[in-house]
Amino acid sequence: MNIRIAIFTWIPVLFITSTTHAQTNSQQITEQITVDGMKRKIVTYIPANDKPALMPVVIALHGGFATPKAMFRLADFRSLADKEKFIVVCPASKRMWHDGADSKGIDDVKFIDEVITYMIKKYRADPQRIYVTGISNGGFMTSRLACQIPDRIAAVAVVAATLDVGEGYDLKNPMPIMYIHGTSDPIISYNGGKLFGRKMFSHRDIIEKWVKMNDCYPEPLVSEIRDNAGDGTKIFKQEYVNKVNGLKVISYTIENGGHTWPGGRQYFPKFIIGKTTHNLNACQTIWDFFKTCTRKQT
């Protein structure tokens, strides 16, 4: 098997295991819920919180063939969650994320929709501050969720992925959105193309589509982060703003960046996945974006 391809990477509760973090009194809980008759795993991090207010939720979607444990290691929002008081939940795919019902009856759009309901009912999550992020296959799933259930999500952030071209992937509602992509990504091309026979938008094209959907001013605010880490990467940020309602579309282009999570682990050698930039902390950047976004009540 081509290694690069392999990377592309009220519901009844069936079981619960919980780990308490002594230093913070936070909890990391592994549960199974049932969706369409299937047992589905979720791992949830609950920060210690003595305030009665509802907490935001960050749903973090792992890449293809990965796991919630791997996602916590790659994109570790837990220290931020302790500080800022938000819940982190990493659901588990069935090897790959399925963004619609497939031949095996797996509908992951419905699964994540059910996860949101579960978080709101069990953990008193704030329904107006549900956020989704993901990398690779999880990033494509994040984009699809923005298309399919925008009424449940306040904002999304996509890393090393874009959106498939085709029926069912139409942008339907404005939403605050961020895309982070490396120009030297060897798995998901920054310039778009085809993968597994499915056509995908380039980074620039998907940004343009969201700019139009969100009715943002077409001239972005542009800034650059130099290679202060000395890892051969630098970052260009373009921020598009709707001047009436403040809705944003944010693009981070990682020059020479690979199929990686900025500020995260170099989880495979560079010759397989490219470089991990340490000139940007994706977890901090994504949360700083998310916490400014609240979904309007309908």
pLDDT at 197: 82
Tracing tokens 């940020």 back to the chain, one arrives at 237
Domain 3-290 fold is Rossmann fold (3.40.50)
* Two structure tokens written together for 15: 């079981």
- pLDDT per residue of the chain (298 residues) written in tens, 0 to 9: 343 434 444 333 333 454 555 446 899 999 999 999 999 999 999 999 888 889 999 999 999 999 999 999 999 999 999 999 999 999 999 999 986 555 577 999 999 999 999 999 999 999 999 999 999 999 999 999 999 999 999 999 999 999 999 877 889 999 999 999 999 999 999 999 998 888 999 999 999 999 999 999 999 999 999 999 999 999 999 999 999 999 999 999 999 999 999 999 999 999 999 999 999 999 999 999 999 999 987 5
Residue 155 CA from chain centroid, whole number: 10
Please tell me whether the overall predicted TM-score, pTM, comes out greater than 0.75 for this model. Answer: yes
Cβ count within 10 A of residue 199: 11
Q: Locate the domains of the chain by residue range.
A: 3-290
How far is the C-alpha of 58 from the C-alpha of 285, rounded, in Å? 13
pLDDT at 17: 52
